[in-house]
């Protein structure tokens, strides 16, 4: 038994020595390799190539999917931020616009032409789409001193009159909804000649203009750019409130009277803050004195 053990140890040592020699021979620098080595190397390389291609393809696909997912999420975040930015810009613009309107209204309320009147500030709270150019609803009513036929204006000029008043709200009939039954006594003031008086009695939708019919001629005809004001002659509206500017003068169908197309001073499509004016007694008396003076002057002539 001992002989066989020594023999096995001897064979193991001889095999180990041969293996070391074979490894050393294989790893030494050689210009040529054996056929067996070529076969093994080619086989291993083909296997590596066959495994490497699908692995790289899978890795690239997974990586691209992840990149697409990250890009999509970033795109959604950017879209949300852009939407918030646009909304913020719009809100800032609206606040600036409202601030300018309120500043203009405040300046108008502090002006000398308004101090002699009872002025009530209001806000438009409703506007019917089917009657967009005929009426609006405001947030002031009888409890605030609002009554029917009071003049309603913005900082730019007249927009209409109170059609009906409830306790806390009122309906405003816009000048674009006026007709021969709802007319405004108006005039064009002349410094070097007699004032031109007439009536605002309608709205031309084709030209977006108020119709100013001349009822009393003066020494000077109407001209483009003339400012049309409320005359106060009707006994309803205060005098001197801007209505619009003349942009064209024509004649009626019979050629007997002049009709001016007047562009409204106020933006009737965008109304938010308004002022309600009550005609004062002092103004009525002053206007009566003016009319008497003009009548006496005509009689003297």
Domain boundaries, the chain: 39-110, 119-295
DSSP state of 143: G
Q: What is the pLDDT of residues 117-147, one digit of tens each?
A: 678 889 999 988 877 778 899 999 999 999 9
Q: In Å, what is the CA distance from 140 to each residue of 72, 106, 171, 271, 273?
A: 51, 18, 9, 15, 12
The architecture that CATH gives domain 119-295 is Beta Barrel (2.40)
Residue 249 has pLDDT above 90, yes or no: no
Provide, rounded to the nearest whole percent, the portion of the chain with pLDDT above 90: 14
What's residue 272's pLDDT? 87
Between 148 and 40, the more confident residue is: 148
What's residue 282's pLDDT? 42
Q: Which two tokens stand for residue 80?
A: 């949300």
Determine phi and psi for 122, rounding to 5 degrees: -145, 170
Residue 8 has pLDDT above 90, yes or no: no
Residue 289 has pLDDT above 50, yes or no: no
Minimum mean pLDDT range among 102-111, 162-171, 292-301: 292-301
Between 52 and 287, the more confident residue is: 52
What's residue 162's pLDDT? 92
CA-CA distance, 23 to 37, in Å (whole number)?
12
- First and final CA of the chain: distance in angstroms? 164
Q: What is the pLDDT of residues 36-76, one digit of tens each?
A: 666 776 777 777 777 777 777 777 777 888 888 888 888 88
Between 100 and 5, the more confident residue is: 100
Angle at 143 between CA 138 and CA 148, to 5 degrees: 60
What's residue 299's pLDDT? 38
Residue 298 has pLDDT above 50, yes or no: no
What's residue 125's pLDDT? 92
Residue 83 has pLDDT above 90, yes or no: no
If you average pLDDT over residues 237-264, what whole number do you get?
84
Give yes or no for a contact between 206 and 214, defined as CB atoms under 8 angstroms apart: no
What's residue 294's pLDDT? 39
Minimum mean pLDDT range among 216-230, 231-245, 273-287: 273-287
């Amino acid at each position: 038994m001992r002989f066989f053990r020594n023999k096995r140890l001897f064979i193991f040592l001889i095999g180990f020595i041969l293996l070391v020699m074979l490894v050393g021979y294989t790893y030494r620098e050689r210009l040529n390799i054996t056929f067996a080595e070529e076969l093994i190397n080619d086989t291993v390389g083909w296997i590596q190539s066959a495994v490497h291609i699908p692995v790289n393809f899978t890795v690239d696909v997974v990586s691209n999917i992840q990149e697409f997912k990250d890009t999509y999420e970033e795109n959604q975040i950017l879209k949300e931020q852009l939407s918030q930015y646009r909304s913020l810009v719009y809100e800032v613009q609206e606040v600036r616009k409202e601030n300018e309107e309120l500043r203009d209204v405040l300046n108008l309320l502090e002006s000398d032409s308004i101090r002699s009147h009872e002025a009530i500030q209001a806000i438009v709270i409703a506007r019917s789409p089917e009657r967009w150019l005929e009426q609006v609803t405001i947030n002031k009513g009888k409890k605030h001193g609002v009554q029917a036929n009071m003049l309603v204006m913005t900082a730019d000029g007249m927009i209409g009159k109170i059609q009906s008043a409830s306790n806390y709200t009122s309906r405003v009939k816009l000048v674009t909804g006026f007709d021969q039954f709802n007319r405004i006594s108006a005039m064009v003031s002349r410094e070097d000649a007699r004032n031109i008086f007439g009536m605002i009695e309608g709205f031309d939708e084709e030209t977006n203009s108020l119709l100013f019919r001349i009822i009393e001629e003066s020494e000077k005809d109407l001209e483009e750019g003339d400012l049309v004001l409320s005359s106060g002659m009707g006994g309803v509206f205060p005098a001197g409130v801007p209505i619009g500017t003349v942009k064209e003068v024509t004649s009626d169908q019979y050629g007997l009277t002049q009709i001016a197309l007047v562009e409204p001073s106020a933006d009737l499509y965008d109304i938010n803050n308004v002022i309600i004016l009550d005609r004062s007694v002092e103004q009525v008396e002053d206007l009566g004195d003016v009319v008497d003076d003009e009548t006496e002057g005509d009689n003297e002539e």
